[in-house]
Amino acid sequence: MVIGLTIVAIATSSPEFAVTISAALRDQHAISVGNVIGSNIFNLGIILGLISIFSPVKISKSLLFRDGSLLVGTGFLLLIFFYDLVLSQVEGIILFIILVAYIVILIKQKQDIEEEIPEDNFKFWDVPIFILGVATIIISANYLVDSASNIARYFGISEWLIGITIVAGGTSMPEFATSVVALHKRKHGISAGNLIGSDLFNMLGVLGIAALLKPLSLESSEFLSLVLLSITLVIIFIMMRTGWKISKIEGILLIAIAIFRWGYDFIF
């Protein structure tokens, strides 16, 4: 559980981290924040919904009350911080401190791993491959931000819309690919903890560090997407509690909500 909610979450959120930081340093706040919100839409809407359609996702009490509660709380905390349409450096520090405290709590609890973890021997080339992978993500992030901005300007649409849809979908590919492979191998018991962990890292770690480097700002219309995000998180929390699982019908509903939220940004 600790591995899934920390190391795996950080690894699969590395594209979001690279893109958000790169956009923030270029003052492209719409792409920076939109990428995080859009990735959360994709993770807890499309991916979690898709998994639930094939096989109900079981929810443990710790996943609901500890991780789910923090997810909902973080959503409303972002609403408070962005109420003035700016996420300051101090607020970014607060978000990052919450993430660190959360990780410390997970490690101290030392809960048993709920899923089978494959073991393998360490090889000397693992280190250079890891470094090459990180470098590739960072370089790709810069190209992704540049191309997304050019596409937005060419078609006369906002960078926010590009960030919350195309960029967000692209940076969520690690989570999506993992789910597709698991479905192909008929391992339907994918824990929702990995997706929740990724979203927590996105909101607390990615936005926190980005704001620490340079304050992030939003337009009033973009703030409404944050409101919808918080409402969605509450709905997911309720789904997790009903029957301690996310059923096929609830999975379809999650996908519908995600499509509605994207549609809202297209229209408004």
CA atoms of 53 and 26, how far apart (whole Å): 40
Name the amino acid, one letter, at 143: Y
Number of compact structural domains in the chain: 1
Looking at the domain assignment, is residue 56 inside a domain?
yes
Are the beta carbons of 5 and 193 closer than 8 angstroms? Answer: yes
Instruction: Give 122-162 as a DSSP string.
Output: --TTHHHHHHHHHHHHHHHHHHHHHHHHHHHHHHT--HHHH
Look up the CATH number of the domain holding residue 139.
1.20.1420.30
Name the amino acid, one letter, at 89: Q
Looking at the domain assignment, is residue 25 inside a domain?
yes
Looking at the domain assignment, is residue 148 inside a domain?
yes
CA atoms of 226 and 228, how far apart (whole Å): 5
- pLDDT tens for the chain, residues 1 to 268: 566 566 666 777 778 888 888 888 888 888 889 989 988 988 889 988 988 888 788 888 888 888 899 999 999 999 999 999 999 999 999 999 999 999 888 888 765 544 454 555 667 787 788 778 767 776 777 777 778 778 877 888 888 888 888 888 888 887 777 677 766 666 554 557 678 888 999 999 999 999 999 899 998 888 998 999 999 999 999 998 988 888 999 999 999 999 988 887 777 6
* Distance from the first to the final alpha carbon of the chain: 39
Residue entry with tokens 């300007």: 153
Digit-coded pLDDT (tens) for 163-220? 888 888 888 887 777 677 766 666 554 557 678 888 999 999 999 999 999 899 998 8
Looking at the domain assignment, is residue 120 inside a domain?
no
Length of the chain counted residue by residue? 268
The backbone torsions φ and ψ at residue 28, rounded to the nearest 5 degrees and listed phi first, read -95, 70
Sequence-separated (6 or more) residues with CB below 8 Å from residue 208:
92, 93, 94, 95, 96, 98, 99
Q: Domain limits at 197? A: 2-114+135-267
Looking at the domain assignment, is residue 128 inside a domain?
no
CA atoms of 155 and 84, how far apart (whole Å): 30
Looking at the domain assignment, is residue 83 inside a domain?
yes
Looking at the domain assignment, is residue 79 inside a domain?
yes
**For residue 267, what are the CA distances in angstroms to 14, 96, 260, 261?**
30, 33, 10, 10
Are the beta carbons of 216 and 210 closer than 8 angstroms? Answer: yes
Lookup: tokens for 86:
């700016």
Looking at the domain assignment, is residue 122 inside a domain?
no
